[in-house]
């Protein structure tokens, strides 16, 4: 099923099966939540917050955290409103586009910004703008945590990624490069190579590192200097 985030049926199915076909997600979220325990009281911006699954985990784990979530899907935001209603003023949700974050009235001086499986929808210039915007909205020493799909760099290397993805139980796993490109196009996915993500973070002023890369799934961290 191609991804259509505006479709309430697709949104509900993704929410119910958010761990399916992506064995790295649970581990990366566990690392994220441990990191968030150290985040001081304050706003955590959740870019592409979807149905609020990760927001709820952060709110439960970090007593001082408040979440400002932004997403362009009314269907996903509807699920997030339901899920987060009991957290009262610890949450704010906004309909907005990651390609036009300047139009989002988000808090500044934030303790952290997280982006879980959302930035791979952006082309590189849009990604660059989102990273710069993020830097400006973080307090000194604030963390930027990205968990996302990464680009498979070339057809020449594809068979190695296919083998790894098969072993990991990732699905779907197209058997050849053209099938992979078709699958990305059908979903509107434009994953960036980890090198590009690190370069964009460093160019914006972050200290940045690839914390954990598992084939085409990765966790990249950036920190605004203190």
Ligand X SMILES: C[S@@+](CC[C@H](N)C(=O)[O-])C[C@H]1O[C@@H](n2cnc3c(N)ncnc32)[C@H](O)[C@@H]1O
Kindly write out the interface string for residues 101-130 of this chain, putting x where it contacts ligand X by CB under 6 A and - elsewhere: ---------------xxx--x---------
Ranked by CB distance to ligand X, the top (closest) residue is 50
Q: Are 121 and 190 in contact (CB under 8 A)?
A: yes
- Which strands make up the sheet holding 42-47, listed edge to edge? 91-95, 65-71, 42-47, 110-116, 138-149, 217-223, 207-214
User: 148 forms bridges with which residues in the sheet?
Assistant: 218
Range in contact with ligand X (rule: CB under 6 A) among 35-43, 44-52, 84-92, 205-213: 44-52
Residue in 32, 43, 73, 133 binding ligand X, rule: CB under 6 A: 73
User: Smallest distance, Å, CB 29 to ligand X?
Assistant: 8
Question: In terms of DSSP H, where are the helices of 107-193?
Answer: 124-137, 155-168, 177-187
User: Looking at beta carbons only, is 93 or 152 nearer to ligand X?
Assistant: 93
User: Smallest distance, Å, CB 225 to ligand X?
Assistant: 26
193, with CB counted inside 10 A (0-12, 13-18, 19+), is middle
User: Smallest distance, Å, CB 151 to ligand X?
Assistant: 16
Cα dist from 92 to 4, 44, 55, whole Å: 24, 10, 10
User: Smallest distance, Å, CB 103 to ligand X?
Assistant: 11
What are the strands, taking DSSP E only, across 90-158? 91-95, 110-116, 138-149
Contacts of 58 (CB under 8 A, 6+ apart): 32, 33, 36, 44, 46, 65, 67, 114
Kindly write out the interface string for residues 76-105 of this chain, putting x where it contacts ligand X by CB under 6 A and - elsewhere: x--------------------xxx------
Kindly write out the interface string for residues 45-64 of this chain, putting x where it contacts ligand X by CB under 6 A and - elsewhere: ---xxx--xx----------
189 binds ligand X per the rule CB under 6 A: no
Which residues in this chain contact ligand X in the complex, by CB under 6 A? Answer: 5, 18, 48-50, 53-54, 71-73, 76, 97-99, 116-118, 121
């Amino acid at each position: 099923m191609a991804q259509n985030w505006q479709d309430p049926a697709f949104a509900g199915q993704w929410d119910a099966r958010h761990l399916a076909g992506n064995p790295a997600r649970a581990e990366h979220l566990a690392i994220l939540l441990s990191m968030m325990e150290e985040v001081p009281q304050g706003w955590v911006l959740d870019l592409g917050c979807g149905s609020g699954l990760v927001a709820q985990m952060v709110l439960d784990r970090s007593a001082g955290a408040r979440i400002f979530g932004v997403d362009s899907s009314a269907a996903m935001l509807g699920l997030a409103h339901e899920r987060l209603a009991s957290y009262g003023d610890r949450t704010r949700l906004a309909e907005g586009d990651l390609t036009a974050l300047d139009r989002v009235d988000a808090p500044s001086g934030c303790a952290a910004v997280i982006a879980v499986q959302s930035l791979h929808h952006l082309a590189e210039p849009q990604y660059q703008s989102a990273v710069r915007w993020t830097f400006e909205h973080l307090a000194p020493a604030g963390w930027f945590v990205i968990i996302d799909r990464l680009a498979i760099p070339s057809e020449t290397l594809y068979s190695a990624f296919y083998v790894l993805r098969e072993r990991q139980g990732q699905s779907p796993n197209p058997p050849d490069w053209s099938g992979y490109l078709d699958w990305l196009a059908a979903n509107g996915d434009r994953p960036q190579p980890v090198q590009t993500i690190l370069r964009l973070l460093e160019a914006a002023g972050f200290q940045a590192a690839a914390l954990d890369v598992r084939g085409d799934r990765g966790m990249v961290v950036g920190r605004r200097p203190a």
